[in-house]
Chains A and B, each alone.
Chain A
Amino acid sequence: MSRLEDNAMGPEELSGPHPGGADRLGDEPAWRRLLRRARVGVRDRPGYALLGITASLFAGLVAVYGLSDVAQRTLNGLVAGSYFALGAVGLTLVYGILKLVNFAHGDMLTFGAYMALLFSAGLGLPSLVAMAAGVLATAGLGLAFERLLWRPMRRKRAGLLQLLLTAIGLALFIRSGIQFVAGTAQRSLDVDVLASVEFLGLRIGTTELIVVVVGVAVLTLVAVLLRVTSVGRQMRALSDNFSLAETTGVDTSRIVALTWVFGAGLAGLAGVLYAAAAGSFNPNLGFLLLLTLFAAVILGGIGNAYGALVGGMFLGLTQEWSTLVIDSRWKIAIGFVILIMVLIVRPNGLFGRAAKI
Chain B
Amino acid sequence: MMRGKATHWIIAGALAAAVAAGLAGCGGSEEGGGAGGEAAFDLKVGSLVPLTGGLASFGPPGRKAADLATDVGQKALDNAGLDVNFTVEHADTQTEPQAAIQAARKVLAGGATCLDGAYTSAETIALGNSVAVPQRVPLIAPSSSAPALSALDDDDFVWRTSASDALGAVALANLVEREAGAPAETTVALAARDDAYGEGFIEQFKTAWVERGGGITGPVLYDPSQASFNSEAGQMVSDDPDAYVIIDFPETYARFGAALVRTGQFHPDRMFSNNGIAPGAEGEKAPDGIPAPAIAGSRGHRPWTPAAGEAVEAFDELYRSAGGPARHTYDAQSFDAVVLCLLAAVAAGSNEGAQIKEKLREVSAPPGRKFSYLELADALRALADGQDIDYEGVSGPVNFDERGDPTVATFQVWSYDEGGTLEVAGEIEANADESR
In whole angstroms, what is the CA distance A274 to B255 when docked? Answer: 11
Residues of B within 8 A of A198 (CB): 264
A151 to chain B, nearest CB (A): 33
Which stretch in B160-168, B219-227, B384-392 binds the other chain?
B219-227
A280-B231 in contact given A185-B288, A329-B221 (Cβ < 8 Å): no
- B288 close to A332 (CB less than 8 A): no
- B232 close to A323 (CB less than 8 A): yes
Q: Is the interface of A mostly helix, strand, loop or mixed?
A: helix
A333 to chain B, nearest CB (A): 9
Interface positions of B from 271 to 297, Cβ below 8 Å from A: 287-291, 293-294
For A186, the closest partner residue in chain B by CB is B289
Residues of A within 8 A of B250 (CB): 186
- B234 close to A72 (CB less than 8 A): yes
B290 to chain A, nearest CB (A): 8
Size category, B interface: 20 to 34
- B287 close to A186 (CB less than 8 A): yes
- B223 close to A80 (CB less than 8 A): no
A194-B293 in contact given A186-B251, A203-B263 (Cβ < 8 Å): yes
In whole angstroms, what is the CA distance A196 to B235 when docked? Answer: 17
- A194 close to B261 (CB less than 8 A): yes
Residues of B within 8 A of A289 (CB): 227
Residues of A within 8 A of B228 (CB): 76, 79-80, 83, 208, 278, 320
Residue-wise interface mask of B (294-318) relative to A, using a CB-CB cutoff of 8 A (1 in contact, 0 not): 1000000000000000000000000
- A194 close to B258 (CB less than 8 A): yes
B230 at the interface (CB under 8 A from A): yes
Contact of B227 among A186, A195, A292, A323 (CB under 8 A): A292
Contact of A329 among B222, B230, B255, B262 (CB under 8 A): B222
B254 at the interface (CB under 8 A from A): yes
In whole angstroms, what is the CA distance A76 to B261 when docked? Answer: 15
Residues of A within 8 A of B358 (CB): none
- A279 close to B291 (CB less than 8 A): yes
- B230 close to A79 (CB less than 8 A): yes
A41 at the interface (CB under 8 A from B): no
Residues of B within 8 A of A329 (CB): 194, 221-223
A114 at the interface (CB under 8 A from B): no
In whole angstroms, what is the CA distance A20 to B230 when docked? Answer: 52
Residues of A within 8 A of B230 (CB): 75-76, 79-80, 205, 208, 320
Residues of A within 8 A of B222 (CB): 328-329
A42 at the interface (CB under 8 A from B): no
In whole angstroms, what is the CA distance A76 to B228 when docked? Answer: 8
Residue-wise interface mask of B (238-266) relative to A, using a CB-CB cutoff of 8 A (1 in contact, 0 not): 00000000000011001100110111100
Residues of B within 8 A of A73 (CB): 231, 234
- A280 close to B264 (CB less than 8 A): no
A348 at the interface (CB under 8 A from B): no
A225 at the interface (CB under 8 A from B): no
Residue-wise interface mask of A (69-100) relative to B, using a CB-CB cutoff of 8 A (1 in contact, 0 not): 00011011001100110000000000000000
- B264 close to A279 (CB less than 8 A): no
In whole angstroms, what is the CA distance A329 to B226 when docked? Answer: 9
Residue-wise interface mask of A (166-197) relative to B, using a CB-CB cutoff of 8 A (1 in contact, 0 not): 00000000000000000001111000011110
Interface positions of A from 195 to 223, Cβ below 8 Å from B: 195-196, 198, 203-205, 208
In whole angstroms, what is the CA distance A83 to B223 when docked? Answer: 17
For B193, the closest partner residue in chain A by CB is A329
Residues of B within 8 A of A274 (CB): 227
A282 at the interface (CB under 8 A from B): yes
In whole angstroms, what is the CA distance A83 to B235 when docked? Answer: 21
A188-B221 in contact given A72-B234, A79-B228 (Cβ < 8 Å): no
A331 at the interface (CB under 8 A from B): yes
Contact of A320 among B231, B288, B291 (CB under 8 A): B231
For A322, the closest partner residue in chain B by CB is B231
Residues of A within 8 A of B287 (CB): 186
For A76, the closest partner residue in chain B by CB is B230
In whole angstroms, what is the CA distance A257 to B169 when docked? Answer: 57
A23 at the interface (CB under 8 A from B): no
A28 at the interface (CB under 8 A from B): no
In whole angstroms, what is the CA distance A315 to B294 when docked? Answer: 28
- B262 close to A188 (CB less than 8 A): no
In whole angstroms, what is the CA distance A292 to B232 when docked? Answer: 19
In whole angstroms, what is the CA distance A185 to B226 when docked? Answer: 18
A332 to chain B, nearest CB (A): 5
Contact of B234 among A76, A205, A292 (CB under 8 A): A76
Residues of B within 8 A of A84 (CB): 227
A341 at the interface (CB under 8 A from B): no
A327 at the interface (CB under 8 A from B): yes
Residues of A within 8 A of B290 (CB): 280
Residues of A within 8 A of B254 (CB): 186, 188, 279-280
B171 to chain A, nearest CB (A): 26
A288 at the interface (CB under 8 A from B): yes
- B225 close to A288 (CB less than 8 A): yes
Q: Which of B225, B228, B261: most chain A CB closer than 10 A?
A: B228
For A192, the closest partner residue in chain B by CB is B291
- A328 close to B263 (CB less than 8 A): no
Residues of B within 8 A of A323 (CB): 231-232, 235
B228 to chain A, nearest CB (A): 4
Residue-wise interface mask of B (379-409) relative to A, using a CB-CB cutoff of 8 A (1 in contact, 0 not): 0000000000000000000000000000000
B341 to chain A, nearest CB (A): 36
- B251 close to A282 (CB less than 8 A): yes
In whole angstroms, what is the CA distance A282 to B249 when docked? Answer: 13
A187 to chain B, nearest CB (A): 7
- B288 close to A186 (CB less than 8 A): yes
Residue-wise interface mask of A (225-240) relative to B, using a CB-CB cutoff of 8 A (1 in contact, 0 not): 0000000000000000
In whole angstroms, what is the CA distance A205 to B255 when docked? Answer: 12
A332-B226 in contact given A76-B231, A203-B262 (Cβ < 8 Å): yes
Residue-wise interface mask of A (144-171) relative to B, using a CB-CB cutoff of 8 A (1 in contact, 0 not): 0000000000000000000000000000
Known: A83-B227, A185-B288. 17 other contacts (CB 8 A): A73-B234, A76-B231, A80-B227, A80-B230, A187-B288, A194-B258, A194-B294, A195-B262, A203-B264, A280-B290, A292-B227, A320-B231, A323-B232, A323-B235, A329-B221, A332-B225, A332-B226
Could you write out 7 A-B pairs with CB less than 8 Å apart?
Answer: A76-B230, A186-B289, A203-B263, A203-B264, A278-B228, A327-B221, A332-B226
Name B's A-contacting residues (CB within 8 A): 194, 220-223, 225-228, 230-232, 234-235, 250-251, 254-255, 258-259, 261-264, 287-291, 293-294
Name A's B-contacting residues (CB within 8 A): 72-73, 75-76, 79-80, 83-84, 185-188, 193-196, 198, 203-205, 208, 274, 278-280, 282, 284, 288-289, 292, 320, 323, 327-329, 331-332
Smallest CB-CB A-B distances: 6 pairs? A280-B289, A280-B254, A76-B230, A186-B289, A329-B221, A329-B194
